[in-house]
A and B are shown apart, each in its own frame.
Chain A
């Protein structure tokens, strides 16, 4: 277990280091997420009444798209010079590769969210302060499930032709339940204020997270080893 954590840390730090050196990717993804929320802001006729209702959906779409970009990138860097083969040649447990990629992707999305959400709140004129803690929990657990599944799917699709297209095509349908729960819980907070709704969805999200994180941790070694 200690080795697993050490190698996870080594790979994660390596990824953070290389990502910080080519910051433009983070910048571009942020611009992309920003565009999504700005364009939707114009596309819908937002009124004080419908704004909270639409807002949570739009927010999750922005995160979904930018998160998917980040996930796909996380394995792209390993394809350069076939580093992924170099990684699989090391005695490192494959689960460490999965955990490192998962954590890296999670961190990436959280950074985007920290930058986007304040702008979003202003743009959509939302009152989130009273539920700030509960909102953060939903975001984090939603991100967790998204990345648990997304990291697995990215590892599958990185060896396929047309991977840029296949990742979203494979991943988005599988994420539908998570998005429904997360957007539902978000709108329970900022719109209806129905806390029963919130907690019932929260439970579903946690179940999703646990299932996909466990399954992916176990399955990952069969995916990175070439057939």
Chain B
């Protein structure tokens, strides 16, 4: 069995009586760009949190490179953008990034923070408190935060939410370059077109079950929409 990707075996997750994931099997090979679609409440965020180590499965297990996510060597290689920004309102943009860089043991945290701030076009605002940022700026800063340790595995939960057209284009290019750098990416999105434009593999989750999981080659947006409606609304 391959040991270098993300592997999820019979993962079930319950919140009290509610079953959010039902025996999900999923393999994301190293270098894949996996895009996950699904209606609200399908369990996408839950699945991602389990894969990146923020939640434990009720039964089954999830591994990255064959290791449980509670190992710190694995956490070093993982970057996450979630619904929450993980940013400190009372710290400036620059302080937030260099704080996280320091915790990841990055060599020169200040310089890395500057570089990332430039790449998400927040350099001019680096001295402002994260708490004063607009929704889209916060999202851009949390993208930078996730990339602070140059992770090999990147988990993105609706990373495009709040981004304006210009930032979305920049971010999409960034995602493509991550894919070219052979990073392994899992992204949740509701935007069919954007997802398809970056994906190497596509999955659809419905009521806690993975009902579709295929390569994206040959897939067009119309076909994808049809498949989605078919799978979700049947």
Q: Contact residues of A with B, CB < 8 Å?
A: 3, 6-7, 10-11, 14, 17-18, 21-22, 77, 80-83, 85-93, 225-227
Contact segment of B70-78, B184-192, B202-210:
B70-78
**In the complex, what's the smallest C-beta–C-beta distance from B68 to chain A, in angstroms?**
11
Q: How far is the CA of A137 from the CA of B175 in the complex (A)?
A: 57
B171 at the interface (CB under 8 A from A): no
Query: Which of these, A6, A17, A91, A226, contacts B91 with CB under 8 Å?
Result: A17
Pairwise interchain contact A90-B104, C-beta atoms closer than 8 A: yes
In the complex the two chains form, is A91's CB within 8 Å of B54's CB? no
In Å, the complex CA distance between A77 and B56 comes to: 24
Residue from A17, A86, A88, A91 in contact with B105 in the complex, judged by beta carbons closer than 8 Å: A91
Inter-chain contacts of B86 with A (CB < 8 A): 81-83, 85-86, 89
Other than the given A85-B82, A85-B84, A89-B75, 10 more pairs (CB < 8 A) read: A80-B89, A82-B82, A89-B52, A89-B86, A90-B103, A91-B73, A91-B76, A91-B105, A225-B56, A227-B56
Q: In the assembled complex, how far is the CB of residue B207 from the closest CB belonging to chain A, in whole angstroms?
A: 23
Selected from B53, B76, B89, the residue in CB contact (under 8 A) with A81 is B89
B82: chain A residues within 8 A (beta carbon): 82, 85
Smallest CB-CB separation from B90: which chain A residue?
A18
The verdict on A14 contacting B75 (CB below 8 Å), with A85-B86, A86-B100, A86-B145 known, is: no
Would you call B11 an interface residue if the criterion is a C-beta within 8 Å of the partner chain's C-beta atoms? no
A77 to B104, CA, bound (A): 21
Distance between Cα atoms of A87 and B91 in the complex (Å): 15
A10 to B106, CA, bound (A): 13
| Residue contact B87 to A81, C-beta cutoff 8 Å | yes
A83 touches B72 (CB 8 A): no
Taking the nearest CB of chain A, how far is it from the CB of B190, in angstroms?
Answer: 21
- In the assembled complex, the CB of A180 is this many whole angstroms from the nearest CB of chain B, namely 38
Report chain A residues within 8 Å CB of B150: none
State the Cβ distance, B20 to closest chain A Cβ, in Å: 14
Roughly how many angstroms separate A12 CA and B55 CA in the complex, as a whole number?
Answer: 26
Number of cross-chain contacts by CB at 8 Å: 74
Closest to B85 in A: A81
With a cutoff of 8 Å between Cβ atoms, the chain B residues found around residue A14 in the complex are 88, 91, 95, 99
Within 8 A of A (CB), among B184-232: none
Closest chain A residue to B56 by CB distance?
A: A227
Q: Given that A7-B103, A10-B102, A87-B103 are contacting pairs, would A22 and B56 also be in contact in the complex, using a CB cutoff of 8 Å? A: no
**A interface SS class:** helix
| Highest count of chain B CB atoms <10 Å: which of A18, A91, A93 | A91
A18 to B145, CA, bound (A): 18
Residue B80 is within 8 A (CB to CB) of chain A in the complex: yes
Q: CA–CA, A93 to B95, complex, Å? A: 21
Q: Please indicate the chain B residues that have their CB under 8 angstroms from the CB of A77 in the complex.
A: 88, 90
Smallest CB gap from A86: residue in B: B86
If A10-B99, A89-B75 touch, whether A83 touches B87 (CB-CB below 8 Å) is yes
> In whole angstroms, how far apart are the Cα atoms of A3 and B102 in the complex?
10
Instruction: Determine the distance from Cα of A10 to Cα of B95 in the docked complex, in whole angstroms.
Output: 11
Q: Which of A80, A93, A227 has the largest number of chain B CB atoms within 10 A?
A: A80
* B54 touching A226, Cβ below 8 Å: yes
Q: How far is the CA of A18 from the CA of B130 in the complex (A)?
A: 12
What is the CA–CA distance of A225 and B55 in the complex, to the nearest angstrom?
8
Which residues on B sit within 8 Å (CB–CB) of A3?
Answer: 105
Closest to A78 in B: B88
Measured between alpha carbons, how far is A93 from B71 in the docked complex, in Å?
10
**CA distance in complex: A4, B123 (Å):** 31
Whether A85 contacts B54 by the Cβ 8 Å rule is yes
Known: A86-B145, A90-B103, A91-B72. A226 touches B56 (CB 8 A): yes
Chain B contacts with A in 27-67, Cβ cutoff 8 A? 52-56
Q: Please name the residue on chain A nearest to B145 by beta carbon.
A: A86
A19 to nearest B CB, angstroms?
8
- Closest chain-A Cβ to B180's Cβ sits at a distance in Å of 25
Check if A81 sits within 8 Å of B88, measured CB to CB.
Answer: yes
Set of chain A residues within 8 Å of B53, measured between Cβ atoms: 89
Residue of chain B at shortest CB distance from A96: B103
